[in-house]
Amino acid sequence: MKEQYDFSTGKRGAIDPIPQGKTQITLYLDDEIISWFRETVNAQNGGNYQTLINQALQDYIQQKGESLESLLRRILREELTTSK
């Protein structure tokens, strides 16, 4: 290990770029929800609980038969109505 390192040309940011078609957000979920998804992933011998949450949301949207655009428009209308 060196005594000193030169970080003068270093760049700040994520180590791995976010894949195309994905958006990083901050989302607050109940502890019980996170625990359930983590336990489910562990019971399946590994994986990523965030991927499982994403799949659950996609399944829910498909089950409802509502397009993502329609769903987002409906949610925005509801939020705008309640924020007045």
Q: Other C-beta atoms within 10 Å of 66: how many?
A: 14
What DSSP state is assigned to residue 4? -
pLDDT attached to residue 35:
96
How far apart CA 65 and CA 63 sit, in angstroms, is 5
Predicted TM-score of the model (pTM)? 0.57
pLDDT attached to residue 14:
66
pLDDT attached to residue 30:
94
Residues in the chain: 84
pLDDT attached to residue 12:
81
pLDDT attached to residue 84:
63
- Could you tell me the mean pLDDT of each successive run of 10 residues in the chain, 84 residues long? 89 79 89 95 91 90 79 84 73
The Cα angle at residue 21 between residues 15 and 24, in degrees rounded to 5: 50
pLDDT attached to residue 73:
87
